[in-house]
Amino acid sequence: MIDKKARMILDKDYRIGDVDNRIYGSFIEHLGRAVYGGIYQPDHPDADDMGFRKDVIELVKELKVPIVRYPGGNFVSGYNWEDGIGSKEKRPRRLELAWQSIETNEVGVNEFVQWTKRVNADVMMAVNLGTRGADEARNLVEYCNHPGGTYWSDLRKAHGYAEPHKIKVWCLGNEMDGPWQIGHKTAQEYGRIACETAKVMKMVDPSIELVVCGSSSSKMPTFGEWEATVLDHTYEYVDYVSLHTYYGNQEDDIGNFLAKSLDMDEFITSVVSICDYIKAKKRSKKTINLSFDEWNVWFHSHDADKKIQPWTVAPPLLEDVYTFEDALLVGCMLITLLKHADRIKIACLAQLVNVIAPIMTDNNGGAWRQTIYYPFLHASNYGRGCSLKAIVSSPVYNSKDFSEVPLLEAAAVLNEDHGELTIFAVNRDQQDSLLLECEMRGFEGYKVIEHIILENQDLKAMNTKENPFNVVPHNDGKAAVEDGVVKAILPKLSWNVIRLANRKGTAL
C-alpha cells in the first residue's frame, strides 16, 4: 500500500507554450578535453576523415542536440577567431588565459561547423567582447554568413568553404558581469558595447538572432540591476537575454540538493519580470525571450582542478563524474525549463563532452554515457511539442534552504502531430514511493505505451570507464490509464518518463 499520493490535472487546452527544440541545446568550449580528446582526436582509431571521434558523434546524435554553443564560455573573452582559420600548419599556439592552458587552434570555426553538421546540429556562435569588440564581431559574421564578393567571405571560400555557414544565433560575449572574465565590464560599459556590436552584426546579416549577457548567476551582487541596465541599452537590438546557473551537493544533503531547481525557477521568473519591465518602460511591442545557455550540476571536480599544472594542451579540467543523485536534479532542471517554455527558447546543457558533461571519453579508448545523459536523452527525444500547464497537488517537505518543496516535480508535453503525450516526473521522497494520479482531460483514447524509470539504491552510483552501465534506466514501470486517470507508482528518488499515445497516433 502506497501511503503518499500526488494528484495532477492535465487538460489539452491548458497550455504554457510550444517547446522550442533549441532548449535541448548544449555547449562545447575550448576548455580541458571538450574539443581535444573530446570531439576531436585525429590519432584515435575511431577518428573520421576530419579527425572527429565517431563514437562521440554517435552518442551526441542519440541526444538529438539541435544547437551547440561555441567556442565559449570564459575562453571566448580572450579568443582571436582569426587564429582558427586557414592552414592548420600556420595557426598559432596561444596562451589561453581563462583556463591556463595552451590552445593549439587545430579546431576553429570552419571545423566546428563541419562537426555540427555531422551531429545534425546548428551552431550558436559567441563573439569576443572582452579583449575585442564590434569590428572583429562584424568581420566574423561576414566570414561565416556572407555569400561572397567581399574580403572576409572570399577568404572563407579560399579556405575551402564555398557556401556560407548561415549561423543564425550569436552570443554577445560571455558572463561580462563576472570579475573573473577577461575584459570584465560594468553593466553600463557592457550595455554600450553590446548595443553597438549588435547593430553592426545585424547590418551584415539582418536575419541573425542575438543573445545579450545576463547575470552569470542569480547570486551575483549586481543581479537584477545588471539585466535592467544592459537591456535598457540593447532592448531593440537583441532577441534573448542569457541566464547561467550551476548547482552542487557540497553539504551532502540530498533533500536540499534536489530542491535547488526551485531556485532555478525563481531565477527564470525574476529575469522574465525584468525583461517585461524594460519592455513597459520603453513602450516596446517587442518581447525579449530567454536563453538559459549554461546550466548543469558542477562541483565534483573543484579540488582536482586545483592540482592541475598550467600551460598544457587539453588538461583534464572540470571532469565531474556524475552520480545518480545528480541525474535526479538534472531531471528536475529539465522539468523547470519545460515549465517556462513560453519564454525560454534556447537552453544549453553545459557542457557536452568531458567537461561537466553527459558524455565522457578515454583518450586511448572508448566513450560512455554519464548518469545525467539519460534524463537529457529522454527529454530531448520525447519532450518536443507543446508544454502543458500541469495542475499539481503534492505532499511537501522543508529543507535547509527551501520550504514546502513538493515531493512531485512534473511537467507534460503534448506532441499532437504524433498523437503522443509525455509526462516527466521526479519523486523527491527519500523513503517512500509516490502514487501519481493524473486526471486527463481531452485525451480520450490515450494509453500508456511506456513507463521509463531511472532509479538506484545508491545515490552515489556512477558510470565509469570500467563500469559504463552501472546506472541505466529501465522500462518496467507499471503506469496505466484507468477511467481517464493515469495511475503510476513512482519509486523513491526516481526519474520517470510516462509516454502515452492515442489509438490513431504514431509513437515517436
- The total number of structural domains that make up the chain: 2
Q: Are residues 406 and 259 in the same domain?
A: no
Q: 420 and 459 share a domain? A: yes
What value does the mean pLDDT take over residues 430-446? Answer: 96
Task: Kindly state whether residues 50 and 8 are assigned to the same domain.
Answer: no
Which of 359, 381, 403 is at the close of a domain? 381
Per annotation, catalytic residue among 175, 409, 420, 455: 175
Helix (H, G, I), strand (E, B) or coil at 140: helix
pLDDT at 507: 46
- 282: phi > 0 → left, psi -120 to 50 → alpha, else beta; which? alpha
Show the domain range for 395. 4-12+388-502
Q: Alpha-carbon Rg of the chain, whole angstroms?
A: 23
The answer to whether 344 and 290 have CB atoms below 8 angstroms apart is: yes
Residue 357 lies in a domain: yes
pLDDT at residue 461 greater than cutoff 50: yes
Domain boundary among 351, 381, 411: 381
On the question of pLDDT at 508 being above 90, the answer is no
Give pTM, 2 decimals.
0.97
The reply to whether 56 falls in a domain is yes
pLDDT of residue 2: 75
Is pLDDT at 89 greater than 70 in this prediction?
Answer: yes
Identify whether 175 is a catalytic site residue. yes
What number of residues does the chain have? Answer: 508
Q: Decide if pLDDT at 417 tops 60.
A: yes
- CATH number, domain at 117? 3.20.20.80
Q: Are residues 377 and 400 in the same domain?
A: no
Residue 508 inside a domain? The answer is: no
* Same structural domain, 245 and 292: yes
Does the pLDDT at position 215 exceed 90?
Answer: yes
372 and 431 in a single domain? The answer is no
* Same domain for 392 and 335: no
Task: Please state whether the peptide bond connecting residue 248 to the residue before it is cis, i.e. omega within 30 degrees of 0.
Answer: no
Q: Pick the last residue of a domain from 319, 348, 381.
A: 381
456 and 321 share a domain?
no
On whether both 26 and 92 belong to a single domain, the answer is: yes
Encode pLDDT of 38-75 as tens digits.
999 999 999 999 999 999 999 999 999 999 999 999 99
Whether residue 230 lies inside any domain: the answer is yes
Using an 8 Å Cβ cutoff, are 450 and 505 in contact? no
- In a domain, residue 8? The reply is yes
Q: Are residues 346 and 393 in the same domain?
A: no
As beta bridge partners, residue 69 has 27, 124
* DSSP-assigned states of every residue in 287-320: --EEEEEEEEE--TTHHHHTTSPSS-BS---S--
Strand partners, 440: 10
Find the helix or strand (DSSP H, E) in which 264 lies. Answer: helix 261-282
Does 285 map to a domain? yes
Give the residue with greater pLDDT, 501 vs 1: 501
What distance in Å separates the CA atoms of residue 117 and residue 123, rounded to the nearest whole number? 9
Q: Does residue 507 sit within a domain?
A: no
Q: Is 437 a catalytic residue?
A: no
Q: Among residues 29, 111, 294, 455, which one is catalytic?
A: 294
Q: Give exposure, 86-100, as e/b (b: 16+ Cβ within 10 Å).
A: beeeebeeeebbbbe
Cβ count within 10 A of residue 431: 8
> Are 429 and 400 in a shared domain?
yes
Residue 36 lies in a domain: yes
The CATH code of the domain that includes 490 is 2.60.40.1180
Tell me, yes or no, whether 367 and 403 share the same domain: no
Across the range 158-177, mean pLDDT stands at 98
